[in-house]
Structure 1
Amino acid sequence: MTLRKLATLAVAAAVSTMPFPIVRAVAATVPAPVTGTAQAQGVRFYNVGAQGCDAQDTPDAPARAFRDGSGTIHLFAAASVDRAMTGRSFNTLKHDCSVVFQGEKSGNPADFDDADWLTSFWVMDGRTVFAIIHDEFHGWEHPGQCPSGDPSRCIATSLLGAISNDGGQHFYSVPGNAALGATPPYRYDPNQSAGFSYGNPTNIMKRGAYYYVMFNSQDPFASGHDGVCIGRTANLLDPAAWRIWDGSGFNIRSSDPYTTAIADPDKVGCHPVVPATGPGYAGSLSFLPSRRVYVLAMYSFGQDGNGKRAGTYILTSADLLHWSQPQLLLADDAIPSNQGGHQYYPSLIDPNSPDPNFGTIGRHPILFTTSEATDAADWSLWGRQVSLR
């Protein structure tokens, strides 16, 4: 799972141990944007060569954290064999080689069970934790599923649900096909011209009676669906309860394309709340209580033709639907050359957040990013101090 690959979504939820403050949007008013800066010099939290359990134990997803009932912090930025860093504080986190979850590498795309990443978490109580799994079907890794041999054409992604009953030490797939909460309306075809995705979901955010997740949509077969979309549900454990924003309301209910004939996929495609002309990939979603606004961290490759520098940007909203213009937080070209250049998968996490899901931030959170390299041993997870205004 890299930002250059496609990805997807499906969500699940439960009773929050700490509901977020409710922000009631009266009109489609975009608040003044939150701005800020991140230190160019980073602190290395994890490096594959120094701490990895094997060469594939790479930080390959946005950093997510939660605090279990015993007070232990679990930090994930996992590869498709999911492991965590744990500790009583962010300063004492240590990488654990125990496998928390992994997919079954199924060669049948209808199984939604190939290469899996744990990407988002919701603490239900001290021991029960819900997670969103990012599942990628890699056609090129299965006989007969990718005649072209081109990974960009032979990929389809979905999000599934998983549950832990031991405080996040092990996760298990939720019974039933939780991917049906939000899957692209297409069946995988070995001869398809391009991959498709609802992908790279943010962390789960509670607002009022609903649980929200933002995700990236890439639809090569219909226009108007590319960008950052949003879905919500009142019960994340029930895939049938999930609804996606269609431009006027949360009215789209996804169906399993392998069991249900979808006559007109264009009508059930999501409507982006951040268009494809925005920065790029969503990384994290946070609530800033001092401003009573939401902050979305995104990454831009700087290749969109609109003059944006590659790096991390932040956007601001009062209602999760209407977003400010992106504000540059950290440009890749400002980062010391010995720290990896491009910094992917931005995620804002505040170690001082009282929320067990670390969904709230203060004025000085940490920006977590991943630097990738040709040699997997050089992949690293970095943290940088941020000042928000």
Structure 2
Amino acid sequence: MVPATLSSKATLAARAFTAACGLLWLGTAAASEVRLHVDGPVETVFRWKQDGCPSDFIPDSPARAFRRPDGSVMLIAAHFRNGSFAGPSLDRLKPRCHASSGGAELDQPERFDDRFWVQGLAPLPKGGLFALVSHEYMGKRHPGRCLSASRPGPQCWYSAIVGATADAQGLSFSLEPPATRVVAAPPTRFDPGATARTGFFTATNIVEAGGWLYFVSWAEIPGTRGNCLFRAPSDSPAGPWRARRAGGFTGFFPSAYETGRDEHTTPTRCDVIGADRQLGILRSIVRLETVDLYVGVFSVANGMQRPAGIYYSLSPDLLTWGEARMLVDLRPWYGTMECAAFYDYPSLIDPASSSPTFATAGQHLQLYLTRFNWSTCDRGLDRDLVRLSIAVRTGAP
């Protein structure tokens, strides 16, 4: 983290470093003096048992919002059916209970058209939306595609980030053509005998800085486990996207099935950001305009090195991250077999953001979460979308 008290010479050096990385210098506020605080009770946005949608209309990803050309708002907290919410504002949303889009569930991993979850949005220059989607090929769902299909666990899980597009009014997403679909894929082909999962599993929302678009994906590939930072030109949301690698944005993760590519080539690694701070899987990143810092949120499971809950960390440049601080002690479900209500998939959204994808924020935000209603020990589909008011405060703690 670059402190606000840097000397003039050190400040210039830091600016030169971030400029060389293609990132915007933001160091006008000392992160140690910025705090996020819960500023209200849990509010239910969508209640699965009462809102009359099909049983598989559930919040299964961090919430993302988009302001449409007519000023109305759409929000998606994607399941693989990718249903959405719409209304005149984030305070007046109604569920669009039908599935708006979904993968073809093909049993061919090389097609990258099984199931997908919409997770990152950016306006296209000529209208409509580009989306980063988390694509999951699960060999266990396809007969004969997993040698250990009867065993519990993450065997035969092959995940990638791929691109999709949608009309800005409808949020009905279609995968990009096969030749340009893959944003970041595992450097090896699907292995039906795999005993661990592999690939890129999540995408944060997309943020913009200095003529570039950025997102973070959690990677589990040979040589890399952690949050990897990607960027693409601001005028080209569909890419090409490159990952931070060896100090520059040179990481290229095409399909391992591309013609002429050797699947046994040494895997390309990407730099892990926030590893020194033990950041969990970053789910949402927002630029706090009033303090010139980015804030990222993630959950911490039971049994880890710090208490379970929803955490945040601050960054001046998306590369260097500050200490992880608990935002609210609402626990995710993994790591425990208790019967309780659990919370996960955190996402920060400022309803007053000037960004069409709510990628910026002021001093007041909403923390969206999925609540898993498992108090009766029935770990089924009963889950709600909820939110809490968050205030950004400055000054010594």
* AA matched with 1:194: A
Matched, 1:249 2:253: no
Asked whether the 8 Å contact 1:72–1:86 carries over to 2, the reply is: yes
Matched, 1:324 2:283: no
| 1:10 paired residue number | none
Query: Percentage identity across aligned positions?
Result: 26
How far has the Cα of 1:134 moved from its partner? 1.2
| 2:382 paired residue number | 378
Matched, 1:275 2:279: no
| 1:18 paired residue number | none
What secondary structure, in the 3-state scheme, does the structure 1 residue paired with 2:360 have?
coil
Matched, 1:49 2:53: no
How far has the Cα of 1:127 moved from its partner? 4.9
Asked whether the 8 Å contact 1:69–1:126 carries over to 2, the reply is: no
How far has the Cα of 1:165 moved from its partner? 2.7
Change in Cα spacing, 1:258 to 1:276, as seen in structure 2 (3 Å) is farther
How far has the Cα of 1:238 moved from its partner? 4.7
1:159-170 to 2 correspondences below 5 Å: 159-170=161-172
* AA matched with 2:357: N
What secondary structure, in the 3-state scheme, does the structure 2 residue paired with 1:282 have?
coil
Deviations 1:155-191 (A, max 9, x none): 1111111112352342222223444321121211110
Supply the distance in 1 between the matched residues of 2:328 and 2:195 (Cα, whole angstroms). Answer: 35
What is the aligned-residue RMSD (CA, Å)? 2.4
Deviations 1:49-97 (A, max 9, x none): 2225221111000000010101110110021101111000112100012
Matched, 1:180 2:178: no
Q: Could you say which structure has the greater relative contact order, defined with CA pairs below 8 angstroms and 6 or more residues apart?
A: 1
How far has the Cα of 1:38 moved from its partner? 1.9
Deviations 1:1-48 (A, max 9, x none): xxxxxxxxxxxxxxxxxxxxx83269xx98436322225731111122
| 1:131 paired residue number | 131
| 1:13 paired residue number | none
| 2:193 paired residue number | 191
| 2:64 paired residue number | 64
What secondary structure, in the 3-state scheme, does the structure 2 residue paired with 1:140 have?
helix
Q: With structure 1 as the length reference, what TM-score do the two structures score?
A: 0.85
| 1:148 paired residue number | 148
Supply the distance in 1 between the matched residues of 2:263 and 2:123 (Cα, whole angstroms). Answer: 35
Change in Cα spacing, 1:88 to 1:126, as seen in structure 2 (3 Å) is farther
Matched, 1:315 2:313: yes
What secondary structure, in the 3-state scheme, does the structure 2 residue paired with 1:110 have?
helix
Supply the distance in 2 between the matched residues of 1:328 and 1:153 (Cα, whole angstroms). Answer: 32
Which ranges in structure 1 are unaligned for 5 or more consecutive residues? 1-21
Change in Cα spacing, 1:30 to 1:174, as seen in structure 2 (3 Å) is farther
Asked whether the 8 Å contact 1:82–1:117 carries over to 2, the reply is: yes
Aligned residues: 355
Supply the distance in 2 between the matched residues of 1:143 and 1:236 (Cα, whole angstroms). Answer: 39
Supply the distance in 2 between the matched residues of 1:100 and 1:33 (Cα, whole angstroms). Answer: 43
Deviations 1:87-124 (A, max 9, x none): 00112100012322100001111111111111111123
What secondary structure, in the 3-state scheme, does the structure 1 residue paired with 2:32 have?
coil
Q: With structure 2 as the length reference, what TM-score do the two structures score?
A: 0.83
Change in Cα spacing, 1:364 to 1:41, as seen in structure 2 (3 Å) is same
Change in Cα spacing, 1:146 to 1:30, as seen in structure 2 (3 Å) is farther
